[in-house]
Amino acid sequence: MTTRYAIYFAPGKGSPWWEFGARWLGRDETGSQSLPQPLLAQMDAAELRDITAQPSRYGFHATLKAPFRLEGGHTAEDLMARLRALAATLQPVALGPLQALVLGDFIALVPAHPPQALGMLAATCVTELDDLRAPLTPAELARRGVERLDAREQELLQRYGYPHVLERFRLHFTLSGPVPAATAQRVMQAVAEPVARLNATTPLVLDRLCVFVEPAAGQPFTRVADVRISA
């Protein structure tokens, strides 16, 4: 079985933050429809399309539990039931203002002052659902670039299928694929004003757990369910 599932946070469809992210990436992840991307002074349409091609496949989101295959006899219905039960124990987290930063070689929006509750929520999603996850195959491990990870990241990868969890977690909404430094600066200039406006008018709250599905390797991830956090 090659279908993979992921637990992400994505703003509610139609909300101001969703409109910003979906149009920036040029894709409605709930049905894979293409959307017109913004017209920017900093770059032309072809360049924006090129640098967003990679994150567009995943949709505008922040990872809580990275993509995984279901273990053994577990089904999508099992995952949904467990996710609803988990969401009922959690509380929404106000993320505070977001800012665009260079993370490695790509650009992402991250909370300027991550609240402690955010890390706790993410860790709960990772650990409480992990018995549903099938172990990584050798090919999946290779794609994670084990040789580039430090000892702790390798340990987390082996234990939870992803190296950037628990104390290594950093919530981020990816805005670009790998870009050179000069392009990164132009991307951050392009998003500065709309992000500042959204921070001021519609502060973002992590209020749902979203299920995204990759039907087969390399296909776009589709957002199939939102489970509201209700505690």
What's the pLDDT at 94?
A: 97
What's the pLDDT at 15?
A: 98
Average pLDDT of the residues of the chain: 95
The structure's pTM equals: 0.95
Domain that holds residue 57: 4-228
Q: Which residue has the higher pLDDT, 32 or 55?
A: 55
What's the pLDDT at 211?
A: 98
Torsion of the alpha carbons at 87, 92, 95 and 100, rounded to the nearest 10:
40
78 Cβ contact list (under 8 Å, min separation 6): 70, 132
pLDDT at 183 over 70: yes
Chain-centre distance for alpha carbon 9: 6
* DSSP structure string for 113-165: S--HHHHHHHHHHHHHTGGGBPPPPHHHHHHTTGGGS-HHHHHHHHHHS-SS-
68 neighbors 6 (Cβ within 8 angstroms)? yes
Structure token pair of residue 40 = 């920017």
The CATH number of residue 71's host domain is 3.90.1140.10
76 Cβ contact list (under 8 Å, min separation 6): 5, 70
175 neighbors 108 (Cβ within 8 angstroms)? yes
What's the pLDDT at 116?
A: 95
Reference 126, options 114, 115, 118, 138; nearest CA is: 118
Q: What is the DSSP letter of 70?
A: B
Q: Give residue 26's pLDDT band: very low, low, confident or very high (50, 70, 90).
A: very high
Q: Give residue 90's pLDDT band: very low, low, confident or very high (50, 70, 90).
A: very high
What's the pLDDT at 88?
A: 96
Predicted confidence (pLDDT) per residue in 151-179, tens digit: 999 999 999 999 999 999 999 999 999 99
CA distance 168 to 204: 22
pLDDT at 231 over 90: no
Q: In this structure, is the dihedral angle defined by the CA atoms of residues 95, 180, 21 and 143, taken in order, positive or negative?
A: negative
Q: What are phi and psi of 21, to 5 degrees?
A: -70, -45
Predicted confidence (pLDDT) per residue in 106-152, tens digit: 999 999 999 999 999 999 999 999 999 999 988 888 887 788 899 99
